[in-house]
Each structure stands twice: as C-alpha cells, then as structure tokens.
C-alpha cells in the first residue's frame, strides 16, 4: 500500500442546521487520481473547501504529508503544496494569461524564492504544457470557458503543488474539449508526479481516468473503491437514481 499524502479524518462541517459533511474519512495515496463523486449537494465542493482552507470544519482533522493543516489559512495551505481549481472559474480577468500563471508561481510553493524573470519562464513552461502558450498575452477575460478552465489548471500547476484538487473541470465542455482536458490532466499528472483529487459529474470521464472513486451522499461517504466496484454498488446507483428498483435493474445490466 502506498503512503497516504492526504488524510481526512472524521471531518464534520455544518452550515447552520445543515450537515454538509458528516464524519468523513478519506485517505488519498501518493500518486493516485482519486475521483470524488456524488449527487448535487453531496458535500464534494465543501470537502475541497475544508481541505484547501476556505472553511474550518466543526470536527475532525486534515493531515497533509503527516502535518495537520485543519483550519490553517488558505494561502498557507497553498504554499505547503495543495493547489486547486474552481467549479465556477475564477481567473483574474484584468490580467493576461501569462500574468495569471505567474501569480501561481510567485505565491505558490516557491513564494519568495523566484525572481520575476524566473517566474515568467516557469509560467511559460506550464502554459506550453497545457497548450495555452499561444494565448499568453491575452486578457483572461477574453478566453472561452474551456480555455479559462485550462488557465485555472495552469495557475494551479504553476504553484508546483504535490496535490491538485480539480473541481468539476469538465462541466459545461463539449465531448471534444472533455477529451482534450482529460489528456492534459493525465499528461501533467505524469510530468509533475502529482496526486490528484477530482470532483466530477461527467461520469464516464471520471470512471475512465480515476484510480479510485469515493462517493459522497448527503455529506457521508457511502462507497469507496475501484471504478468498476463503485459503479456496481447498489447504494451508489440508488443515490444517483433515487429509485431502488430502477437501481437494481441498472446494476444487473452491468
């Protein structure tokens, strides 16, 4: 068994009376792609927000490389080596693609250790890796949704993370763009030796790319395992379809 790079231990997060995460336990192993799936409102993005320091959980702990990071400010967690993209893209619109990516370098794991020209070079390399180098001097606001998603990925990669959190990077893209994005994710993962957690709704894509899948439902982990195992888990299919009989039919078909 490889070592866990990230451990989520008994994490509980409430919003008023709503329990968004209920004693969730997840281990993420070094070098894997973990798919995080579940119906809307299952707590996937909330979990990302807890890991990346946007939310402080009411209970439980998060460890990254053996160090507790629960409740640390987001910028510190980023500098330790966890970078993320957003479900709703948040590039800095008034800056160019290159500047956006440079910010990733300047404030990421290498913060304070790189000069402006080094940051520019590193940013260009990342843009080449994701195929956005042709648009380096364009304003981020001028990009298409697909390109903005890739830019967010580039900005996250520029921070030289060890763990990358991808929040629905495929949503709203057409099949060709999805294929392209998956290729970029796979390639960068190999090139940078990353561990990746991806929240995804595009099921065939995540089943295809992930080494393991965790399924959340109403803030609880209801299944975990290899994509095939999870796809045939009655609880999972039920959670998605909501109808036990229909679910049983689906599982049998497989």
Is residue 104 near another protein by the rule CB under 8 A?
yes
13 belongs to the binding site for another protein (CB under 8 A): no
Answer yes or no whether residue 116 interacts with another protein by CB under 8 A: yes
Question: Do residues 123 and 101 lie in contact, with contact meaning Cβ atoms separated by under 8 Å?
Answer: yes
Beta bridge partners of 34: 197, 212
Check binding of 145 to another protein (CB under 8 A): no
19, 74, 124, 251: residue in contact with another protein (rule CB under 8 A): 74
CB nearer to another protein: give 36 or 151: 151
DSSP 139: B
Main-chain phi, psi angles of 143, to 5 degrees: -80, 160
Closest approach of another protein to the CB of residue 103, in Å: 5
Q: Map tokens 């990421």 to a residue.
A: 108
Under the binding rule (CB under 8 A), the answer on residue 155 touching another protein is: yes
User: How far is residue 126's CA from residue 50's CA, in Å, rounded to a whole number?
Assistant: 27
Task: Give yes or no for residue 107 binding another protein (CB under 8 A).
Answer: yes
- The SS3 of residue 129 is helix
Asked if 89 contacts 152 with a C-beta cutoff of 8 angstroms, the reply is yes
Interface stretch with another protein, choices 95-103, 172-180, 210-218, 225-233 (CB under 8 A): 95-103
* 71 touches another protein by CB under 8 A: no
Which of 27, 167 has the CB closer to another protein? Answer: 167
Q: Taking a C-beta distance cutoff of 8 angstroms, is the pair 143, 91 a contact?
A: yes
Q: Are 173 and 87 in contact (CB under 8 A)?
A: no
Of the pair 54, 222, the CB lying nearest another protein is at 54
φ, ψ at 164 (rounded to 5°):
-115, 125
Q: Which residues bind another protein (CB under 8 A)?
A: 52-54, 73-76, 78-79, 83-84, 86, 90-95, 99, 102-104, 106-108, 111, 116, 139, 141, 155-156, 159
């Amino acid at each position: 068994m490889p070592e866990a790079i990230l451990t989520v231990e008994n994490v509980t997060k409430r919003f008023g009376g709503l329990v968004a995460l209920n004693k969730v336990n997840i281990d993420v192993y070094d070098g894997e792609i973990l798919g995080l799936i579940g119906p809307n409102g299952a707590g996937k993005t909330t979990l990302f927000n807890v890991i990346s320091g946007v939310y402080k959980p009411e209970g439980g702990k998060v460890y990254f490389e053996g160090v507790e990071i629960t409740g640390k400010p987001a910028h510190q967690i980023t500098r330790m080596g966890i970078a993320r993209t957003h479900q709703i893209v948040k590039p800095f619109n008034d800056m160019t693609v290159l500047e956006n990516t440079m910010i990733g370098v300047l404030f990421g794991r290498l913060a304070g250790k790189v000069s402006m020209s080094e940051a520019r070079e590193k940013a260009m390399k990342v843009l080449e890796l994701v195929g956005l180098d042709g648009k380096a001097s364009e304003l981020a606001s001028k990009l298409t949704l697909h390109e903005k998603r890739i830019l967010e990925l580039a900005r996250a990669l520029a921070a030289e993370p060890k763990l990358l959190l991808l929040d629905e990077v495929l949503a709203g893209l057409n099949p060709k763009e999805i294929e392209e994005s998956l290729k970029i994710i796979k390639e960068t993962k190999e090139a940078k030796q990353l561990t990746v957690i991806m929240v995804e709704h595009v099921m065939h894509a995540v089943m295809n790319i992930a080494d393991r899948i965790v399924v959340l439902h109403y803030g609880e982990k209801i299944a975990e395992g290899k994509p095939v195992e999870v796809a045939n888990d009655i609880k999972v299919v039920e959670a998605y379809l909501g109808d036990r009989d229909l679910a049983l039919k689906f599982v049998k078909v497989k």
